[in-house]
Chains A and B, each alone.
Chain A
Amino acid sequence: GAGVSQSPSNKVTEKGKDVELRCDPISGHTALYWYRQSLGQGLEFLIYFQGNSAPDKSGLPSDRFSAERTGGSVSTLTIQRTQQEDSAVYLCASSLLPSGVGEQFFGPGTRLTVL
């Protein structure tokens, strides 16, 4: 079956522009996560959606970052007024069960470069 998909695969933008990154989780997965990974670094948690519950936004680094999940499926991560330090690979993952119980399946990521 289809895995987690993300688009675009690569995004180059100018400092100060807004970007939207999209994630399509595996069908039926109730949990969805966003992470970012800078070059040579580990994964940094950004935000977690579980069903209809309020999202866990504790990892968002600033108010320039926001995310939504429409209809319990597709999610969009928006970065406003991008900065060079936002350059990273943004990974989306989904799981059938909540974190800690179910395996997280990752998408291929969106590589964001802010010039």
Chain B
Amino acid sequence: RKEVEQDPGPFNVPEGATVAFNCTYSNSASQSFFWYRQDCRKEPKLLMSVYSSGNEDGRFTAQLNRASQYISLLIRDSKLSDSATYLCVVNSETSGSRLTFGEGTQLTVNP
């Protein structure tokens, strides 16, 4: 089983739609959680950290459920510019200081 698993996608949604991505992680000792965004043929960039109480940044909402080892990202009122691959990322002390990346979920927002 992979350490971090994401919805395989791809997701194709119209502008203005709400879309949710799910991610599960296998290491119960995981402590830090992030969503990164990667545009086509570009490097990944941090979208947002995920906090235990859940957090929101504009149209983006991240949730963490430690009991279920589950992370989600919700995008409301999606824009064409949201088209990208979204990477779920997890860090745990038992894996040293490295981040473990999911394979990503591709999103295309259509006009």
Interface residues of A (CB under 8 A from B): 31, 33, 35, 41-43, 45, 48, 50, 56, 58-59, 91, 98-101, 103-104, 106-109
Q: How many contacts between A and B, using CB within 8 angstroms?
A: 52
**Interface pairs A-B: 7 shortest CB-CB:** A100-B91, A42-B103, A106-B43, A100-B32, A43-B101, A99-B97, A45-B98
Are B44 and A100 within 8 A (Cβ)? no
Residues of B within 8 A of A (CB): 31-32, 42-46, 87, 91-93, 96-104
List the B residue with the shortest CB-CB distance to A91: B43
Provide the main secondary structure of the chain B interface: strand
Q: A103 to chain B: which residues have CB within 8 Å?
A: 46
How far in angstroms is the closest Cβ of chain B from A71? 20
Contact check, A107 vs B98: say whether CB atoms are below 8 A apart.
Answer: no
